[in-house]
Amino acid sequence: MKLIASSEIKKRSIKQEGIISLSQGITEYAFDDEIKNLLIKCIKDESAIFSYTEQSGIKQLREYIAKWFSDKLRRNVDKDNILVTNGAITALACVFLTLLNPNDEVILLSPYYPSFIEQITLACGKEIIISTKERKQLVENIKKKISQNTKAIIINCPSNPAGMLLDKNEFQQIAELCYNNKIFLISDETYADLLYDNDDDDFARNIFQQYAQEYYIAINSFSKSLGISGMRIGFIYAEKTIITEIAKANDAISICAPALSQYFLLQLFENDLLVSLMKKIKNELIERRDILCSQLDLLHELFSYKKPIGGLYVFAELTKNENDIFFCDNLLQTTKVSLVPGSAFGEDGKGYIRISFGAKKEVIIEAMDRIVDCYKNPSKNI
Ligand SMILES: Cc1ncc(COP(=O)(O)O)c(C=O)c1O
C-alpha cells in the first residue's frame, strides 16, 4: 500500500533554522492566563493524565458537545449522536473503515485535502475525483459519477486548500442526491466554524441535516477553530446506529481521545468560554487574512487570488504559468519562506500555491516582507 499524498505538505512543514513557514494548517494563538490556568487545573487532576476515558468520550463532554451542536443544527442532538475522536483525521479513518468495503467508491471534489485519498486507500476504497473548475456543471458532474459502487460523497466546506464554499442550491442538490441514492454524505467540517463573511455560518450543516437526514455524517475538529491542533480532539456527529458502528473502529484504533484534551474542552464548556474563545480566534484570523492579502496585492503581477471567505488559506494562482513545485522550491532557497505547491492537492492545484494565515501576525508580515522584497528588489536576495 502506497501512501504518499501529503508528503509535499509534510516535507515543507519541517521546522528549520531561519526558515519561516506559512505552509502548515495550524492556528497559532496565544491563550491568556484564564485559559492556561484551566489547562493547568486539568493537569493537576490525575484522572486527566493516567486513565482512559469512556471510549466514546467523557459523558458530560458529549452532552455539552451535543447541546452546542444542537444549536448549530437546530434540531435535538443527543450525546449518543456524538463520538469524541483524536481530531478529524482519526474521525475520517474510523468513518471510512466502517463504511467502506473493498472497491467501494467515494466521490470527492478537487482540489482536495490529500489525506482523504490516503484514508480511502487505507480502507481499501477507491476515490472518484471531480473537478470544481467547471463549477456550473458541478452537481451534474457528480451525478454522472454515481455508480452502484458509490458509498459516499465527501464535502469539505470551506475547503482545504481553496477555501471553497458551495452555495445553498449546490448543498441542497448534493444532499438530495445522497438521500435519493442512499449514499452517505460525509461532511468534513474542520473549517466550518471559520467562516468570515456569512450571516448564517451554519447554513450548510442545516441543509445537510434537513435534506440528507440519516445519511449525514459530520466530521468536526477543534484543531483550527480553538487553535489546539496538538491536543488532538474532534468529534463525529451521525445517527446513533451509525455512531455505534464507527465507535468500534475508534476503539480499535485509539481507545479514546486524549483524556487531558477532553477534560480541557470540558472546562471550556463548563466555564462558558468555548464560544467566546472561538470568536476571538476567528477575529484574529480575519486580521491575519487581511494582512496577508494586502501584502499579496503588492505582488499582483505574480499571483492572482480571491480573498478566502473561510478556512485558513489563500490559494493563489501563479500568473506567469510557472511550475508550482519549482516556484516553491525556488522561493524557499531565495527567501527561506516555505509555502505548499498546489499540486499537493491534486491536478486542479497545479499552478497554484497555498499560503496559510494561521501563523502569528508578525510571522506573516516577516514572511511576506521577504517575498515582496525578493521580487521587487531581486538583487537583495537573502
Ligand atoms: C480538511 C481537513 N480535514 C481534517 C484535518 C485534520 O484535522 P485534525 O487536526 O482535527 O485531525 C485537516 C487538517 O489540516 C484538514 O485540513
For 74-103, the pLDDT digits (tens) are 999 999 999 999 999 999 999 999 999 999
Query: What pLDDT sits at residue 9?
Result: 62
Residue 234 lies in a domain: yes
How many angstroms separate the alpha carbon of residue 190 from the centre of ligand 1?
6
Residue 224 lies in a domain: yes
How many angstroms separate the alpha carbon of residue 300 from the centre of ligand 1?
30
Supply the DSSP symbol for 266: H
Residues 305 and 223 in one domain: no
Residue 247 and residue 91: Cα distance in Å, rounded?
A: 10
Report whether residue 358 contacts ligand 1, using a CB cutoff of 6 Å: no
How many angstroms separate the alpha carbon of residue 279 from the centre of ligand 1?
20
Report whether residue 234 contacts ligand 1, using a CB cutoff of 6 Å: yes
Last residue of a domain, one of 272, 289, 322: 272
pLDDT exceeds 60 at position 230: yes
Report whether residue 341 contacts ligand 1, using a CB cutoff of 6 Å: no
Query: What pLDDT sits at residue 49?
Result: 86
Mutation probe of ligand 1 site: the residue of 90, 115, 116, 261 with most atoms within 8 A of C-beta = 115
Residue 137 and residue 364: Cα distance in Å, rounded?
A: 37
Mean pLDDT along residues 1-13: 60
pLDDT exceeds 80 at position 4: no
Last residue of a domain, one of 238, 272, 306: 272
Residue 77 and residue 239: Cα distance in Å, rounded?
A: 9
Q: Output phi, psi for 295, to 5 deg.
A: -70, -40
Closest ligand 1 atom to 229 CA:
9
Residue 230 lies in a domain: yes
Mutation probe of ligand 1 site: the residue of 84, 89, 165, 345 with most atoms within 8 A of C-beta = 89
Residues 267 and 295 in one domain: no
In this structure, the strands spanning 234-237 and 303-304 are unpaired
Q: What is the CATH number of the domain that holds 189?
A: 3.40.640.10
Report whether residue 264 contacts ligand 1, using a CB cutoff of 6 Å: no
Query: What pLDDT sits at residue 321?
Result: 83
pLDDT in tens, 237-264: 999 999 999 999 999 999 999 999 999 9
Supply the DSSP symbol for 77: -
Contact call for residues 33 and 258 (beta carbons, < 8 A)? no
Closest ligand 1 atom to 234 CA:
10
Residues 318 and 250 in one domain: no
How many angstroms separate the alpha carbon of residue 214 from the centre of ligand 1?
24
Residues 53 and 111 in one domain: yes
Report whether residue 89 contacts ligand 1, using a CB cutoff of 6 Å: yes
Q: Output phi, psi for 206, to 5 deg.
A: -65, -40
Query: What pLDDT sits at residue 304?
Result: 96
What would the grid cell of residue 125 be?
Answer: 476504497
Q: What percent of the chain is predicted at pLDDT more than 70?
A: 95
pLDDT in tens, 257-274: 999 999 999 999 999 999
- How high does pLDDT run on average in the chain? 94
Parent domain of 171 = 33-272
Report whether residue 22 contacts ligand 1, using a CB cutoff of 6 Å: no
Residue 249 lies in a domain: yes
Closest ligand 1 atom to 233 CA:
10
Least confident of 36-50, 118-132, 301-315: 36-50
b (16+ CB within 10 A) / e for 288-304: bbebbbebbeebeebbe
How many angstroms separate the alpha carbon of residue 377 from the centre of ligand 1?
37
Q: Which of 299, 382, 353 has its CA nearest to residue 23?
A: 353
Last residue of a domain, one of 224, 251, 272: 272
Contact call for residues 175 and 185 (beta carbons, < 8 A)? yes
pLDDT exceeds 90 at position 44: yes
pLDDT exceeds 70 at position 43: yes
Report whether residue 86 contacts ligand 1, using a CB cutoff of 6 Å: no
How many angstroms separate the alpha carbon of residue 88 from the centre of ligand 1?
5
Beta bridge partners of residue 318, listed in sequence order:
303
Residue 141 and residue 236: Cα distance in Å, rounded?
A: 28
How many angstroms separate the alpha carbon of residue 323 from the centre of ligand 1?
26
DSSP alpha helix (H) spans, 219-360: 240-254, 259-270, 274-297, 324-335
pLDDT in tens, 280-325: 999 999 999 999 999 999 999 999 999 999 999 999 999 988 899 9
Closest ligand 1 atom to 113 CA:
1
Residues 212 and 357 in one domain: no
In the chain, the largest separation of any two C-alpha atoms, in whole Å, equals 64
Residues 203 and 283 in one domain: no
Closest ligand 1 atom to 86 CA:
11
> Which uninterrupted H or E stretch holds 347?
none
Residues 254 and 147 in one domain: yes
Give me the DSSP letters along 173-227.
Answer: HHHHHHHHHT-EEEEE-TTTT-BSS-S-TTHHHHHHHHHHGGGEEEEEESTTTTT
Residues 296 and 240 in one domain: no
Query: What pLDDT sits at residue 349?
Result: 97
Residues 259 and 346 in one domain: no
Residues 57 and 23 in one domain: no
Q: What is the CATH number of the domain that holds 315?
A: 3.90.1150.10
Q: How far, rounded to the nearest angstrom, does the alpha carbon of residue 349 sit from its chain's CA centroid?
A: 17
Residues 228 and 336 in one domain: no
Report whether residue 223 contacts ligand 1, using a CB cutoff of 6 Å: yes
Least confident of 11-15, 114-118, 272-276, 357-361: 11-15
Residue 2 lies in a domain: no
Residues 135 and 119 in one domain: yes
**Reported confidence tier of residue 199, pLDDT bands at 50, 70, 90:** confident
How many angstroms separate the alpha carbon of residue 253 from the centre of ligand 1?
17
Strand order in the sheet with 126-131: 82-85, 234-237, 216-221, 184-188, 150-155, 105-110, 126-131
Number of domains in the chain: 2
Residue 369 lies in a domain: yes
Residue 251 lies in a domain: yes
Residue 382 lies in a domain: no
